[in-house]
Structure formats: structure tokens, C-alpha cells
Amino acid sequence: VKRRPKSKSSAQWLERQDNDFFVSQAQLQGYRSRAAFKLLQINDKYSIFKPGQIVVDLGYSPGAWSQVALEKTNPGGHIVGVDLIAADPPPGVSAIQGDMLSSETHRRLKSHLAKFIESRQGEPTEEASEEPVVTEEIVPKRRRVPKGKTLEEVLAEEKRLEELAKNQVVDIVLSDMCEPIVSSMDSSDFYTRTYIDSVKRLQSTSGIRFQDHAYSVELCYAALLFVIDTLKVGGHFVCKYYAGEEDKEMKKVFSRAFKKVHRVKPESSRSKSREIYLVCLHRKPAATRQTVF
């Protein structure tokens, strides 16, 4: 069936896809998108993955980076993805739907990690599971109190899990987040509509350089806050952003948290793309929110 693009830009994007070596290789090798090769090339150069690691993949949809992370951390690896949109994670990957600009999403993600650590230590909680967990809500409007429990018990359990998560259990954080296509939605739609066309998702830059750069920087800093809270000393962080006037300042901020910070454009990135990856190696012991920001 011949695809019929609705606009000139869509037609150009589809033509690039049809003629792209990495797109065809992704299809042949079973990856969900060509983005897999960007992470593979980063790993070839910096060797960030090892078996048994815990990896958090921010902005995981459609899931190619999570696929690579799962391959490289087996046996024993645990991958959890977070994305604003509803998407099925790759087999073997856990997933949470949520907005990383929301502190509530940070809390839920830390809770998931704490439960996983407990299960790995042989002391699973009632909610812990070896199966991937997909959470269907973006930002819960109120605390849900399970039947047979009081609100005080729920809050106490949350506090206990947050304390456990403070032990910094994550080995690698990946962030390939980009601005969602939500311009046609008003604020009342935002938390109820989760479907975003997959083609638009893959070309989700506005075309306005300053806007793309500014929003990508905001997402990187949101990811860095989570990294500071949960990444192990010596752990690694890979973060995508779009090049712009804050490049030097970003590298300076990230260098306060990591021993080495590299600006990388993988071979598989398209030549016209302004995307850059910060590869941040070896989290410093003394890195805190206060010292970094």
C-alpha cells in the first residue's frame, strides 16, 4: 500500500526514511527505530553498558534505546522507560507514563526503583512484580488509597520507598526526550489525550531553532535533577538536546556533576540535524542539587 503524505514536509520525511541506511538496518535487526544505532555507536566509543545494570530511559517511545539497553545489560539488567505518551514498551522493559517536568512523575519513578531493589534483595513488597509495569496515568489528581489501608499507611509507605530510593541505585540514565506535539490541545485536553501520531513523534521539532533548543535544554535539566537524586557514584548519563546558544553553559553545569562530559554527534545522526548528545561519564561523589545548580 502506497503511503500518501498529507504535507510536503511529511513527504520529504517519508522519502528520507525510504532511502535511509539506518532505517533499513533497524528493520532488519528488529529495532523499533534508527535511533538504536546512535546509542550503539555511543556505547562502542565509551563502553557505558555492563551486564546486570539498572537503566532508566527517559522519553523511551518507540523503544529502540530500551531495546539496546536491555541487550547490553543482560543477563540481570533492569530497564524502566518513562514517556509522556502511551506506548507499549519492548518485551522485558518496564514503563511508566508521565511528564518528567512533574515532580509527581519523579516520585512514581523512584517508588518503582525502590520496589525493584527490594525484590532484587529478596524482600519483595506486595506490589513488586517481575513483569513489566505500564502505568496508564500521567499525573494522578489524588492519592489512591487501596482497600483495607488508611491514607496514613499509604503516605508512610511512600516515605519509606523514597528513603530507599535515596541510596542512588541507578547505573545509567538515558534521555532522548523531545517536545511533544500538543499545540492543538488546550490545557484541559493535555492530561486526557495521550495519542500522538507516531510519524509526528519522530519529527517532533518545531522548526524554530530557538524554541527547539530552549525546550530541549529544559528537558535536559529536568533529567539532570532526577540523575542527581538516583544515579550511583560513577554512573553515566546520556542526554539529547538541540544545539544553540546555551551549549557552553550546559556543559559547564553538567561538568559539576560528572568527571567527564563529551559533546557527541553519532555517525547515524542525520547531517542536517542539530541534535547533540551529552555523554556524561562517572558521576562525582559530591554532586548535589545545590552544588550543580
Q: Which residues are catalytically annotated?
A: 240
Which residue in the block uniquely carries the three cell numbers 490545557?
Answer: 187
Residue 30 CB-half CA count within 13 A = 6
Element (H, E) at 233: strand 231-242
Strands 231-242 and 134-135: unpaired
CB 34 within 8 A of CB 65: no
Rounded Cα gap, residues 81 and 79, in angstroms: 7
CB 284 within 8 A of CB 233: yes
220: its cell numbers = 535536559
State how far the alpha carbon of 130 is from the alpha carbons of 77, 92, 125, 260, in Å: 12, 9, 12, 35
Q: Torsion-angle region of residue 238: left (phi > 0), alpha (psi -120 to 50) or beta?
A: beta
Which residue in the block uniquely carries the three cell numbers 562502542?
Answer: 44
Per the document, the length of the chain is: 293
CB 28 within 8 A of CB 145: no
CB 54 within 8 A of CB 77: yes
State how far the alpha carbon of 74 is from the alpha carbons of 117, 150, 263, in Å: 17, 40, 27
Rounded Cα gap, residues 77 and 67, in angstroms: 12
